[in-house]
Amino acid sequence: MRPIVATISRSALQHNLAVAKQHAPHSKIMAVVKANGYGHGLLNVARCLNAADGFAVLGVNEAVILREAGYQQTILLLEGVFRAEELAKAAELGLDVVVHSKMQIEILLNASLTKPLHVHLKMNSGMNRLGFTPDAYAAAYQALNLSKNVAGITLMTHFATADKEPGIAAPLQVFEKTIKELPANLPVSLANSATILRHSYLRADWVRPGIMLYGASTVSGMPATAFGLKPVMQLSSEIIAVQTIAAGESIGYGNRFTATQATRIGIVACGYADGYPRHAGLLGDQHPHGAPIAVSGKVTRTLGRVSMDMLFCDITDIPEADIGSPVELWGRQVPVDAVAEAADTVGYELLCAVAARVPIKMTD
């Protein structure tokens, strides 16, 4: 077998959940486990986050997996249902559903269900992605509140700039002003990871931590460790070949790196087919020294273009490195966000993109 493996830390997941609880001590935790647990494995993550009050997923298929595995917590469909026939399964499984459009209201009102569903009514408070506008929100609430298919309603919104300025003040004001028209004491769901960490004063019945649970940064320019978070995934491999090139010689497809001096090159068993970004470190002058990578416990850089199954790294100053030497692509030494920055993306994408061919190993 190829040496590449994604090692998932149970204790890091549990630690990060505890951080979320510390920042939102008066709220219930809706752990976001969509996208196969952000690439960590849905059930791997659920087992470690069993202390959460609920799980948020994207599709009914994910909810089925969790229910069949015995999880009785609240399970929320973050985008609601996409077709009317999904409502019957949602009712059977006892799921909560987001309602964000007139179409979803219509199919819910016209459905024949064995039992009513709890609805999370989403407001578009400025992200302009999903949700009812503030002007339409009260009418959407009234339509749902009169339906026999609705067991209860949670009021919900999502903040576009919780991770940076201008922050959440303006959309929060819009949300709070709008819901004053509705009955008091309805449950509220508000906070993603950035909101939890940067705006801990915010009170909500439910908060929805996502990327922070996996130990990646949610705030540009601030490492996850600044918030006391621990990396959950360590993507590791080994050097499978070593080359020494002279000044003027190049490596890889397109000769994207040409040595200016004698350079010792390690070839690592990891490529873009494993989920590593093909263009990491090749963004012109922004990252002229490649993406960070650790070899034999020492941080160095990638070189040249990433191939489907392999990549290059500089081991000139790591003389002990040789075939079989351990490599960390990201994890404890190399934050996934640092690799993401070198690839002009975010840690979310890299974690979610880890390919199915990469084996996952759980560790304490």
Whole-angstrom distance, CA of residue 290 vs CA of residue 125: 39
Choosing from 102, 164, 177, 253, the catalytic residue is 253
Domain ranges of the chain: 10-217, 233-363
Task: Output the pLDDT for position 281.
Answer: 77
Whole-angstrom distance, CA of residue 223 vs CA of residue 191: 20
Mean pLDDT of 135-153: 98
CA quadruple 333, 337, 338, 343: dihedral, nearest 10: 140
Whether the predicted pLDDT of 77 surpasses 80: yes
Task: Output the pLDDT for position 183.
Answer: 95
Whole-angstrom distance, CA of residue 35 vs CA of residue 214: 13
Residue 252, classed as helix, strand or coil, is coil
Task: Output the pLDDT for position 20.
Answer: 97
Q: How confident is the model at residue 282 (pLDDT cuts 50, 70, 90)?
A: confident
User: Is the Cβ–Cβ distance between 95 and 63 less than 8 Å?
Assistant: yes
Choosing from 34, 38, 137, 214, the catalytic residue is 34
Do strands 54-57 and 28-32 pair parallel, antiparallel, or not at all (unpaired)?
A: parallel
Tokens of 232: 């959950």
Q: What are the DSSP calls for 260-285, one per residue?
A: SS-EEEEEES--GGGT--TTTT-STT
The percentage of residues in the chain with a pLDDT greater than 70, rounded to a whole number, is 98
The phi and psi torsions of 151 (rounded to 5 degrees) equal -85, -25
Residue 115 annotated to the active site: no
Mean pLDDT of 85-105: 98
Whether the predicted pLDDT of 286 surpasses 90: no
Q: What is the pLDDT of residues 224-250, one digit of tens each?
A: 999 999 999 999 999 999 999 999 999
Task: Output the pLDDT for position 219.
Answer: 84
Mean pLDDT of 64-82: 98
Q: What are the DSSP calls for 191-250, one per residue?
A: E-HHHHHH-TT---SEE---GGGGT---STTS-GGGGT----EEEEEEEEEEEEE-TT-E
Whole-angstrom distance, CA of residue 235 vs CA of residue 362: 12
The CATH classification number of 233-363 equals 2.40.37.10
Ramachandran area for residue 180 (φ above 0: left; ψ -120 to 50: alpha; else beta):
alpha
Task: Output the pLDDT for position 221.
Answer: 81
Whether the predicted pLDDT of 287 surpasses 80: no
Task: Output the pLDDT for position 285.
Answer: 62
Whole-angstrom distance, CA of residue 314 vs CA of residue 2: 21
Element holding 9 (H helix, E strand): strand 5-9
Q: What is the pLDDT of residues 17-47, one digit of tens each?
A: 999 999 999 999 999 999 999 999 999 999 9
The percentage of residues in the chain with a pLDDT greater than 90, rounded to a whole number, is 93
Residue 34 annotated to the active site: yes
Q: How confident is the model at residue 220 (pLDDT cuts 50, 70, 90)?
A: confident
Domain at 10-217: CATH architecture: Alpha-Beta Barrel (3.20)
| Range in 23-27, 55-59, 198-202 with the lowest mean pLDDT | 198-202
Please give the mean pLDDT across all residues of the chain.
96
Which residue in 88, 158, 65, 89 sits closest to 120, CA to CA? 158
Task: Output the pLDDT for position 284.
Answer: 62
Which residue in 210, 242, 216 sits closest to 229, CA to CA? 216
Q: What is the pLDDT of residues 291-336, one digit of tens each?
A: 999 999 999 999 999 999 999 999 999 999 999 999 999 999 999 9
Task: Output the pLDDT for position 75.
Answer: 98
Whole-angstrom distance, CA of residue 23 vs CA of residue 1: 42
Tokens of 360: 């996952």
